[in-house]
Structure 1
């Protein structure tokens, strides 16, 4: 089997533990869902064992996250681990199905909130309203973004910010330029 550990997140174990706890899944339940032993999962969470790609896919499916969550972060500069995420080292989270590229700005997924650099591609839109039990705040850096929160529609310009408190929302970028925002979510959703 090829060694893929150099492509994995440096915080894989901590991220896996944080995701499991966020979803209120016990080690035993995750072991049953993934067909693995509790001992092996414990070793993965402590970065003693390194899962294969297929094992990561199974864990991602059991936790209802994209497998890409576990990849894509460049190694941190010595002494910066857990503190600094350089521009070229951001980890892509989620999918680009809706024309949205989300990059994690935090060093890992162990905080009580998540912070993202979100790029809404020109012409992209979220076709359905989504509602989640979170508080979210965003700040538009560049481009324009149309945002619906409940029955309200807003056209955002650079420098505008917004808040969503568990209401149904969706977005669209019908303009010719990508929109870029910083988006914070609490509690974490990934």
Structure 2
């Protein structure tokens, strides 16, 4: 499948309208410079700058390399079927942008219309008996609200058992999670800066 009609003409039916801004936001959230990302991609700084300003558009192979370099799923950049007047404003339950899954048993989708704000809102579903094998940290501030199920999290080694209606905050510390139960746990995350 071809992602684009040509080197400089984006296929509006495939990529999100905020593609350039989303790439720039993700790059900045990871503290990667234009020069560093361009070098990783084997492209010029000028080309990448034009992509971020929607003056040039990556082909399918470049988009895949950008997604890999920014550690996101390529699906994060692909459009879902929504009416044009809703794009950038409304996110329907059936039309969330899938983020992909880095951990078995975890599926995530973007609740924000795009990544152009100072934060993003994510919906996560943790399958029964899923867990994060190793603690991780990320340079973000996050507030998370459990909307369904039970969840356990360790924050810098301190363990907490949570359930629907509870919330927690992350500020760059190491965390690890578990859903040790027989039902799916669903959580809404507000994350600043956007990382997906």
TMscore range, shorter length? 0.7 to 0.9
TM-score, normalised relative to structure 1: 0.87
Q: For residue 26 of structure 1, what is the aligned residue in structure 2?
A: 33
Structure 1 contact 69–92 (Cα < 8 Å) conserved: yes
Structure 1 contact 10–75 (Cα < 8 Å) conserved: no
Structure 1 residues 149-172: Cα deviation after superposition (integer angstroms, max 9, x where no partner): 223222222111112222221111
Q: For residue 45 of structure 2, what is the aligned residue in structure 1?
A: 38
Say whether residues 1:61 and 2:68 are aligned partners.
yes
Say whether residues 1:130 and 2:157 are aligned partners.
no
What are the ranges of 5 or more consecutive residues in structure 1 without an aligned counterpart? none
Equivalents in 2 of 1:93, 1:181: separation in Å? Answer: 15
What pairs with 1:1-190 in structure 2 (closer than 5 Å)? Answer: 2-4=2-4, 5=11, 6-71=13-78, 73-190=79-196
What are the ranges of 5 or more consecutive residues in structure 2 without an aligned counterpart? 5-10
Pairs aligned (count): 189
The two structures, once aligned, show a CA RMSD in angstroms of 2.1
Q: Which 10-residue stretch deviates more, 53-62 or 174-183?
A: 53-62
Equivalents in 1 of 2:80, 2:135: separation in Å? Answer: 34
**1:140 Cα offset (Å):** 0.9
Equivalents in 1 of 2:128, 2:17: separation in Å? Answer: 32
